[in-house]
Amino acid sequence: MTRGVLNELWSKITSVFVTKLQMQAGLSGKQDALTFETTPSSSNKVATMADMPTTMGASGSTHKGGLVPDTPSTAGTTKFLREDGTWSVPDGGGGGSAYVPTLNAAPTSSTTTYTKDGQTVDFEIGQFARVAKTGGGYDFYQLYDLTTVSNVTTASWEKVLNDDYENVYITVTLDANAPQGTVVSGLVISVYYNNAVTASTTVTTDSNGFALLQVPVGYKYKLAFPAQTDCAEIPAVVHTAWKLQRNVEVSYKTLEVEVRNVLINPSDFSAQLASSGERTALEDYVQRCKCYVFNADGTKKAEIKSATFEGNYSGMTAGTVTFADDTVAQISDLNNAGCNFMVLRPALHIWCGTENGTEVLKCTGVYDTLGEGKKTFPKKYIGMFKAFNQSGKLKSQPNRIPTGEQTIATFQQQAKAGADGYGLWNYTDWCKENALHLAWFANTNYEDNVGTGIINNYNNVRNIVTGFTLPLAGKYQCGTKPTVDSQGNYVQRLNFFGIEGMGEQIWEFVIGFRHNGSGTAYIWDDNVWGETYPADRTITLPVTSANQSYIKTIIAGQNFDMLPRTIGGSSVTGLCDGHWIGSNGRLLSVGGSADYGSLCGLSASAANSDFSYSSAAIGARLAFYGEPATVAGSELVASL
């Protein structure tokens, strides 16, 4: 109401009531109280509507000051008074963003209005409308022109193309052994914003069509199959959606879940394979053993595609890592940022026991088909390299001299100082590596299978830096790479599906094992080291005294315990590796050191050290007990 209207109203009121009006509080701004006579005298005039100003006029030729028009009969809070004197909801919705009405069908040339809060509202040029799509989501339309001829208004609408989305077309190809009509199911698509999952869906498609995913621009997404699927795995790379079309081709293959049946303790080690056949399920397993770089606090990991190394024994500072998204990073930068190089070991399913009087190991990789009596080794990330002490935190990094001269308690403390989830690898992890080795090669001789990595000169080998056996780009990369030490001696470094040096150079402590010195071992799987930590189970050790003795047979059993049942083998018979144990032994170390020559190997073990023991010839290996978020290499590098 304008000041002029107020003055006019006040003049009419005071002219009628001024003789009886009591101005008690005035117009001080604190309280305005007016007292009137309840029964006016005959000399006083009572005001009527005729004395009030008329209602305001609309803007234009009829403009006129006056009273506010009557409000709508339906209660509400969204309507405002327009200059034409009507109450209406503003197009902006009061929130600063254009209101987009939802229509029942695609707009036509006659679609010029919409209904909001029971009121009919005119569309304006440039305004959007949406129509719900079958199966979810909306199609959007924009009004780009209005023309009026002979009092008939015609609207011109245009459907909005989804150029603010990335269209991801997922197509399927079949390999020769997949029957036509096979349906690919279980493809999980996760969409992220600000590192939080905003949507996740599972796609099912077949070779006769494709699945279409639309991801908002700026959001991130990844595609992956669960571990139990029989489809070829898609690299779990996180993409950022842009205004483009991306084609993702899924290759389907039928995996025969073969039971790899290997003799455990045969009399003739030249014929261990009890049943021949393809390594189908195991081939699938080792392809899942991917290598990653973890950030220092273990919250993120990015997959490695390849790596290169330069330099020599005296100190390698050059070299790069190429991530799965083709981001390239300097190894020195990753090391300095406290990153860890880890390899994934998925869950491994085995059955170990006696069948028809013969001890066998059955292995089906990630496929849980073995039934009662099986053993499932849990998923774990294991350090690619022997550990290095970086300012009080244990690291798994290339181009580092492995740390020794520390007790097992100190190693575990330094491992856990890195972040929650980090620790040392344990006895169960070591048994798992041995089960995988035997199932894959059907032969117990690690050096024959992987390569000879031992020379009988400890001093020349002890301080060779880690990292010579990357990259791991081959389908089943597993073997050796030549290394030259500081004196020019030729040495082989061994790599077993991404893990380097488990059977040479220096020993490694493992947690989860404690010997009482009298033939009983206590076993646990937690990320804990303690001299009195409660055990999950116990093992009675058949061999309680041994010194540089070749292992002939192992305990095995349901848990595939790798400790010796009998000794008396050789470098080419039995397990082909050595064992040490004595009454003062409390800890377990594995692998061996260079000065023990052919006694070293994946199966080599020593339980002859007490809790306080340390030696330059005994190091450790990092493990991660958890699951970091998978990110692109570019994101990991940017966050360092």
CATH code of residue 193: 2.60.40.1140
CB 498 within 8 A of CB 384: yes
Q: Are 365 and 416 part of one and the same domain? A: yes
Domain membership flag for residue 64: no
Q: How far apart are CA 502 and CA 408, in angstroms?
A: 17
Here the tokens at position 402 are 């492995």
Domain membership flag for residue 388: yes
Residue 482: the pLDDT is 53
In DSSP notation, 225-264 reads: --TT-SBPPPP-PPEEP-SSEEEEEEEE-------EEEES
Here the tokens at position 292 are 């990653």
Q: How far apart are CA 72 and CA 534, in angstroms?
A: 76
Q: Are 448 and 523 part of one and the same domain? A: yes
Q: Are 308 and 343 part of one and the same domain? A: yes
pTM: 0.63
Q: Are 98 and 241 part of one and the same domain? A: no
Domain membership flag for residue 576: yes
Q: Are 502 and 586 part of one and the same domain? A: yes
Q: Are 230 and 269 part of one and the same domain? A: no
CB 449 within 8 A of CB 483: no
Domain membership flag for residue 131: yes
Residue 473: the pLDDT is 34
Whether residue 346 is preceded by a cis peptide bond, meaning omega within 30 degrees of 0, is no
Domain membership flag for residue 389: yes
Among 230, 252, 274, where does a domain finish?
252
Q: Are 243 and 347 part of one and the same domain? A: no
Q: Are 133 and 182 part of one and the same domain? A: no
In DSSP notation, 517-543 reads: SSSEEEE--SS---TTPPPSEEEE-S-
Sign of the dihedral defined by the CA atoms of residues 611, 612, 616, 619, in that order: positive
Q: What are phi and psi of 563, to 5 degrees?
A: -80, 155
Q: How far apart are CA 396 and CA 388, in angstroms?
A: 6
Q: How far apart are CA 444 and CA 554, in angstroms?
A: 11
At 568, the amino acid letter reads: G
Q: How far apart are CA 571 and CA 577, in angstroms?
A: 7
Q: Are 112 and 21 part of one and the same domain? A: no
Among 212, 229, 252, where does a domain finish?
252
Domain membership flag for residue 46: yes
Query: What is the three-class DSSP state of 10?
Result: helix
CB 628 within 8 A of CB 342: no
Residue 271: the pLDDT is 45
By residue range, what is the domain housing residue 19?
3-51
CB 494 within 8 A of CB 480: yes
Among 124, 159, 194, where does a domain finish?
159
CB 386 within 8 A of CB 466: yes
Q: How far apart are CA 433 and CA 476, in angstroms?
A: 15
Domain membership flag for residue 65: no
Q: Are 85 and 43 part of one and the same domain? A: no
Residue 413: the pLDDT is 96
Q: What are phi and psi of 152, to 5 degrees?
A: -110, 120
Q: Are 17 and 94 part of one and the same domain? A: no
Q: Are 429 and 514 part of one and the same domain? A: yes
Regions of the chain where pLDDT drops below 50: 1, 5, 9-10, 12-47, 91-98, 174-181, 207-209, 227-228, 253-255, 269-271, 273-277, 310-317, 470-480
Sign of the dihedral defined by the CA atoms of residues 404, 410, 412, 413, in that order: negative
Q: How far apart are CA 621 and CA 199, in angstroms?
A: 37
Q: Per the structure, how many domains does the chain have?
A: 4
Domain membership flag for residue 499: yes
Residue 44: the pLDDT is 47
Residue 288: the pLDDT is 83
Place of tokens 């992956």: 224
Residue 186: the pLDDT is 56
Q: How far apart are CA 632 and CA 37, in angstroms?
A: 83
